[in-house]
């Protein structure tokens, strides 16, 4: 599966924001306000030297983008990927600001990205990279200023290394300085399933607002991440039917149903979905996007649905679990074809919500049980989905623009309260 690099992530983010701003009077009339939120507040580029196992030194480049700090502190994800770019990091920082705002949590986001393929590093090299990274930035982070979290190719083990290094440098144990850590050092219960549980709640809520439910809905999922497989199991428990799924090796389809538990077992064994026997292998994995299903879930990479294939989409609903899988040009085509898109800044916000819960628990040193975490997640994310739906009706716009309008209101009101605009 590949990404079309001809699309500029940050320019696409700006296009989405501008479309919503044109509908929102307070933003449309005040171009000074739009100019501020249309760009990150600061972007930093740094090189980190790391000693490899063979004694050589390799320099890794990383980018840091802080989009908006109207409500403090910053909260940001650390991404380890060979295709990280400054444009991508700037776009992600903007999207994360509006993701936090649409679910109404008091954090504003930035983003960090390191250009590295972690699969090419030994575990010792990966740990050195993580610890040297913290040594380079520790003066700029902390529980009251900037709190890192995991993102693509970073995990609880890496966050534990980083938290440990930070604690050493500031001379005190600081579990509240990072989120996404192992449970033994301050991870919130429920965080492992929060992304999956969150988007199921969002999907259920939007369908309910449209007088529908998940019963016997036919679903295709592009990408078999662990979280998406967990969510697929939750969907089946609600009588939905998963008929197609893909991963890096290919895609499979069975018009009757797929046994998600068997596919999960295969993935645990480090096998591919194409090793699942009771299904047809799609010749072109991208064909999964064009299947005749009720709900399509693009959960892999960005720019998967563009103006080149949007007219071929047959799904009635699209739930964006990947970040920006649909280009602005494709959005226009999908709107004309009456296909409802549940946008990424709402759909995949469950992990952000529980990351915030983790920080709250770390700061108070009082930890909730999993039922309490899930109850709080359900209450806030369901309300956010209802607000987005009602806003789309009020402004007669799609759900993406509605999500941005809600977010912009909260961002701009916070800026006004601080006399920034």
> Is 312 annotated as catalytic?
no
Cβ distance 347 to 320 under 8 Å? yes
| Alpha helices (H) along 61-102 | 86-102
Our CA dihedral for 150, 347, 248, 129, rounded to 10 degrees, sits at -10
Strands 57-66 and 241-247 turn out to be unpaired
Q: For residue 74, give the nearest of 110, 99, 44 by alpha carbon.
A: 110
Report in angstroms the alpha-carbon separations of 265 from 185, 203, 335: 28, 26, 38
Strands 250-253 and 280-282 turn out to be antiparallel
Cβ distance 407 to 68 under 8 Å? no
Catalytic residue among 75, 90, 99, 111: 111
- DSSP one-letter code for 147: E
Cβ distance 164 to 304 under 8 Å? no
Cβ burial, residue 275 (10 Å; 0-12/13-18/19+): middle
- DSSP one-letter code for 326: B
Using alpha carbons only, what angle is made at residue 130 by residues 126 and 133, rounded to the nearest 5 degrees?
Answer: 135
Active site residues: 111
């Amino acid at each position: 599966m590949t990404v079309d690099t001809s699309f500029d992530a940050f320019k696409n983010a700006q296009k989405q924001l501008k479309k919503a701003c044109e509908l929102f009077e307070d933003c449309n009339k005040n171009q000074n306000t739009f100019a501020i939120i249309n760009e990150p507040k600061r972007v930093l580029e740094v090189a980190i030297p790391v000693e490899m196992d063979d004694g050589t030194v390799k320099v890794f480049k990383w980018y840091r983008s802080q989009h908006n700090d109207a409500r403090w502190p910053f909260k940001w994800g650390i991404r380890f990927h060979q295709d990280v770019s400054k444009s991508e990091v700037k776009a992600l920082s903007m999207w994360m600001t509006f993701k936090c705002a649409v679910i109404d949590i008091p954090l504003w986001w930035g983003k960090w990205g390191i250009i590295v393929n972690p699969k090419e590093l030994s575990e010792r090299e990966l740990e050195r990279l993580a610890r040297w990274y913290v040594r380079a930035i520790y003066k700029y982070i902390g529980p009251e200023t900037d709190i890192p979290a995991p993102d693509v190719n970073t995990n609880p083990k890496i966050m534990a290394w980083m938290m440990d290094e930070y604690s050493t440098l500031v001379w005190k144990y600081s579990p509240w300085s990072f989120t996404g850590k192992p449970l033994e050092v301050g991870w919130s219960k429920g965080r492992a399933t929060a992304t999956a549980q969150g988007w199921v709640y969002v999907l259920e809520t939007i369908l309910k607002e449209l007088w529908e439910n998940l019963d016997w809905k036919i679903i295709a999922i592009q990408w078999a991440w662990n979280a998406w497989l967990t969510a697929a199991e939750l969907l089946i428990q609600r009588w939905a039917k998963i008929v197609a799924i893909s991963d890096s090796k290919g895609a499979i389809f069975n018009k009757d149903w797929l046994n998600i538990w068997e596919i999960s077992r295969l993935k645990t064994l480090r096998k591919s979905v194409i090793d699942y026997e009771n299904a047809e292998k799609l010749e072109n994995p991208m064909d999964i996007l064009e299947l005749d299903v009720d709900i399509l879930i693009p959960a892999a990479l960005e720019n998967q649905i563009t103006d080149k294939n949007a007219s071929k989409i047959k799904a009635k609903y699209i739930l964006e679990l990947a970040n920006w899988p649909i280009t602005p040009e494709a959005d226009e085509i999908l709107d004309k074809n009456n296909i409802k898109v549940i946008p990424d800044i709402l759909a995949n916000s469950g992990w952000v919500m529980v990351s915030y819960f983790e920080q709250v628990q770390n700061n108070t040193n009082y930890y909730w049980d999993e039922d309490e975490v899930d109850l709080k997640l359900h209450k806030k994310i369901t309300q956010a989905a209802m607000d987005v739906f009602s806003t789309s009706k009020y402004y007669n716009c799609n759900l993406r623009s509605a999500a941005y309008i809600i977010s912009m209101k909260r961002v701009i009101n916070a800026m006004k309260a601080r006399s920034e605009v």
